[in-house]
């Protein structure tokens, strides 16, 4: 069982995850590109390091929680990266959402350098990270997954070993496909209802209770109706994940017409300067096309 756990990347997700590891009793060392982000964790007992190399050298298991595939490659194999601090028995667990092919490549290169890896992306967002209720989708070898389980249990609730290296990332991308199409369903249903002059709060409630129901209808639609477009999960990051899904689909000649369409609609949001709004602002693209806004009114039919 790993006793010393490192965290590389202390953003919206990595920061509360590091805090949960401290609470669970692990010896935690951390680093971040902007090192000031790490300071509050020092007070909680974390060791603040200057580089991923330094974190890796004093950890049994090191988590990376960064943004892009190239970020993962940089913190793992770049100058002063995890590989430079690797030692026999080090397990590097990347919990960012990146390309399944890059995850496989990282595993192969790590094996050459004498350490092991898992890909273990998460869903559940900032709130899931704070409350240690993440869903964790894992790709890699059985023994490594078993070794990492005490760490995963400190971070999440639904923890599933999906298959070999890359399978965690592939599962995360499949999840994002479902998320954005459910989100599109919310968007088009509410815009249609608004154009038909319906009471939108009632419409949402009726749809949510039946065969049109979804996590998105339960969670995004009330925010939309109240005009709250703060993230949650940002359009720019959702778009990054859709790009990964469409790249992986392209590589296997998998045709995903709805995902491709939704990706294009998110692009229009980014073009209009909305990349840092919440995922549910997808409806703004449909509203713009349709010349109608879907917001709740006080009056009802």
**Site stretch for a copy of itself (CB under 8 A), options 42-50, 84-92, 165-173, 270-278:** 165-173
Q: How many angstroms separate the Cα of 105 from the Cα of each of 57, 111, 118, 199, 226?
A: 22, 10, 11, 52, 45
Closer residue to a copy of itself in complex, CB, 34/255? 255
Q: Any contact of residue 3 with a copy of itself (CB under 8 A)?
A: no
**Site stretch for a copy of itself (CB under 8 A), options 11-19, 39-47, 147-155, 283-291:** 283-291
CB of 102 to a copy of itself, least distance (A): 14
> What's the rounded Cα separation, in Å, for the pair 77 and 96?
16
Q: Any contact of residue 1 with a copy of itself (CB under 8 A)?
A: no
**Site stretch for a copy of itself (CB under 8 A), options 9-17, 49-57, 75-83, 123-131:** 123-131
> What's the rounded Cα separation, in Å, for the pair 165 and 154?
22
> What's the rounded Cα separation, in Å, for the pair 173 and 74?
22
Closer residue to a copy of itself in complex, CB, 24/208? 208
CB of 2 to a copy of itself, least distance (A): 24
Which single residue is written with the structure tokens 């592939």?
Answer: 170
Site residues (CB under 8 A) for a copy of itself, limited to 213-232: 213-217, 219
> What's the rounded Cα separation, in Å, for the pair 285 and 96?
28
CB of 4 to a copy of itself, least distance (A): 29
Closer residue to a copy of itself in complex, CB, 7/173? 173
DSSP code of residue 46 = P
Site residues (CB under 8 A) for a copy of itself, limited to 171-210: 171, 173-182, 184-193, 195-199, 202-203, 205-207, 209-210
Q: Any contact of residue 12 with a copy of itself (CB under 8 A)?
A: no
Cis peptide before 251 (omega within 30 of 0): no
Q: Any contact of residue 291 with a copy of itself (CB under 8 A)?
A: yes
Q: Any contact of residue 13 with a copy of itself (CB under 8 A)?
A: no
Q: Any contact of residue 77 with a copy of itself (CB under 8 A)?
A: no
Start-to-end CA span in the chain (Å)? 61
Neighbours of 197 (CB within 10 A): 9
Question: Which one of 158, 226, 230, 271 is in contact with a copy of itself (CB under 8 A)?
Answer: 158
Neighbours of 134 (CB within 10 A): 27
Q: Any contact of residue 107 with a copy of itself (CB under 8 A)?
A: no
CB 86 within 8 A of CB 55: no
Q: Any contact of residue 211 with a copy of itself (CB under 8 A)?
A: yes
Exposure of 210 in the CB half-sphere (CA atoms within 13 A): 5
Closer residue to a copy of itself in complex, CB, 164/275? 164
Site residues (CB under 8 A) for a copy of itself, limited to 18-57: none
Q: Which residues contact 78 (CB under 8 A, 6 or more apart)?
A: none
Strand 134-139 with 122-123, pairing: antiparallel
> What's the rounded Cα separation, in Å, for the pair 89 and 92?
10
Strand 116-119 with 91-94, pairing: parallel
Q: Any contact of residue 143 with a copy of itself (CB under 8 A)?
A: no
Closer residue to a copy of itself in complex, CB, 27/268? 268
Question: Which one of 64, 117, 259, 281 is in contact with a copy of itself (CB under 8 A)?
Answer: 259
Q: Any contact of residue 298 with a copy of itself (CB under 8 A)?
A: no
Q: Considering only CA atoms, which of 187, 248, 192 is closest in space to residue 221?
A: 187
């Amino acid at each position: 069982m790993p006793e010393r756990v490192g965290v590389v990347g202390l953003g919206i997700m990595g920061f509360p995850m590091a805090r949960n590891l401290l609470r669970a009793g692990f010896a935690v060392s951390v680093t971040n590109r902007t090192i000031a982000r790490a300071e509050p964790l020092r007070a909680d007992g974390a060791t603040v390091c200057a580089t991923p190399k330094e974190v890796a050298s004093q950890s049994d298991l090191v988590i990376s929680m960064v943004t892009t595939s190239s970020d993962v490659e940089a913190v793992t194999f770049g100058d002063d990266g995890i590989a430079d601090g690797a030692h026999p028995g080090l397990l590097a667990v990347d919990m960012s959402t990146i390309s399944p092919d890059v995850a496989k490549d990282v595993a192969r290169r790590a094996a050459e350098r004498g350490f092991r890896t898992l890909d273990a992306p998460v869903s559940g967002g900032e709130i899931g990270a704070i409350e240690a209720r993440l869903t964790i989708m894992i790709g890699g070898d059985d023994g490594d997954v078993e070794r990492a389980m005490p760490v995963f249990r400190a971070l999440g609730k639904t923890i599933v070993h999906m298959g070999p290296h890359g399978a965690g990332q592939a599962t995360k991308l499949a999840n994002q496909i479902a998320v954005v199409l459910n989100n599109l369903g919310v968007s088009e249903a509410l815009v249609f209802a608004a154009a038909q002059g319906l009471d939108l709060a009632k419409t949402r409630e009726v749809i949510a209770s039946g065969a049109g129901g979804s996590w998105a209808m339960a969670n995004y639609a009330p925010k939309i109706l109240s005009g709250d477009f703060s993230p949650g999960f940002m359009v720019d990051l959702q778009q990054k994940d859709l790009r990964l899904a469409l790249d992986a689909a392209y590589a296997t000649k998998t045709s995903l017409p709805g995902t491709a369409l939704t990706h294009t609609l998110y692009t229009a949001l980014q073009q209009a300067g909305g990349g840092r709004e919440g995922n549910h602002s997808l409806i703004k693209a449909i509203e713009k096309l349709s010349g109608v806004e879907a917001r709740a009114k006080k009056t009802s039919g």
